[in-house]
Amino acid sequence: MNDKKPFPCFALHVKNETSLDEAWESLQEAGLTPLYMEEDFKAFPRIYILAENEPTVKSLLNLFPFIQFAEPSELGEIDWQSQWEAHGLNFYDGCVHIDLPYACSSYGKQLKLMPGAGFGDLSHPTTRLIVDMLNDNVCGKEVVDIGCGSGVLALCSVALGAKHVYALDIDPKALKHSRENALLNKMQDKVTISLPQDFIISSLSAPPVILMNMIMAEQQNAWEALKCLHGYHDICLVSGILSEQKHDYLHLAQAWGWKVLKEQEEQGWVSLQFEICKP
């Protein structure tokens, strides 16, 4: 028997011409908590947000012009199996399969990801962009994956020859999902998965490669919270930046002392490779 109770939220029906990713980011920047997005060809796509501070439907409509209409709702347990089956790339036998032709470790050239709450099923261009950048940057190195989600970047790094990966996330459900995927791929001894506050900087034997695949606001918060990493001089790979935000992100990165080395773009999203310069 499932005794998990649904919790109150608002279902925001988003206009068809609006990017769900951009709508999600706008909601986060306004201080709201998006929980889940849902696409239905027979209706408007929906984003569910936590019903915090009792926002009214009217105020939501006035604040966000991309909302067609909004209604109070309840969100129960999400069927991640159905979500990943519908949207995950190369999904069969209950898992997303990731081909890594340049993998140089003993783990083979294909990874499996089981459905779960962590972001990263390879259906989104931001994930594909940063996975492509891993090829030339992680072999033989330690890696810190900030915002690990499903564990996709951490596990790809191991397959591509990373010495060890520290996978961090603030969401306990994402950490659980990452652990499950590490076990599935028999990589649990090569990945340390934890909350950011439990990360032990002395575990590193050398400056790590930093990975971040989140929207700009989340990256800013995450990096500023992990000051223990700021003095390390190596490479940082980021994705999750909208094309129109690239200038602002580069300005932010310059303030952090990062020097851009490479950039790639796909479907309006940008990934960047930086050198983290010594302070």
Integer Cα distance of 55 and 15 in angstroms: 20
Nearest to 51 by CA among 41, 43, 42, 60: 60
Evaluate the CA torsion angle 147, 153, 158, 162 in order and state its sign.
negative
- Token pair in block for residue 148: 């690990």
Question: Do 112 and 91 form a contact (C-beta atoms < 8 A)?
Answer: no
**Which pLDDT score is estimated for 5?**
54
Give me the residue spans of the domains in the chain.
7-77, 87-276
Integer Cα distance of 226 and 13 in angstroms: 36
- Token pair in block for residue 121: 């099923």
Query: CA neighbours within 13 Å on the CB side: how many for 146?
Result: 26
Q: Is the pTM of this model over 0.95?
A: no
Q: Count how many residues are written for the chain.
A: 279
Domain 7-77 CATH (choose: 3.30.310, 3.30.70, 3.20.14, 1.10.700): 3.30.70
* β-strands 142-146, 209-213 pairing: parallel
Per-residue pLDDT of the chain (279 residues; tens, 9 = 90+): 344 555 678 889 999 888 888 888 788 777 677 777 877 656 788 888 877 666 566 677 788 999 998 888 877 677 788 778 877 788 899 999 999 888 887 788 899 999 988 877 777 888 999 999 999 999 999 999 999 999 999 999 999 999 999 999 998 989 999 999 999 999 999 999 999 999 999 899 999 999 999 888 889 999 999 999 988 878 999 999 988 899 999 999 999 999 999 999 998 889 999 999 866
**Which pLDDT score is estimated for 247?**
95
Check whether domain 87-276 has CATH 3.90.110.10, yes or no: no
Q: Tell me the one-letter amino acid at 112.
A: K
Integer Cα distance of 131 and 135 in angstroms: 7
Nearest to 148 by CA among 166, 129, 125: 166
**Which pLDDT score is estimated for 185?**
96
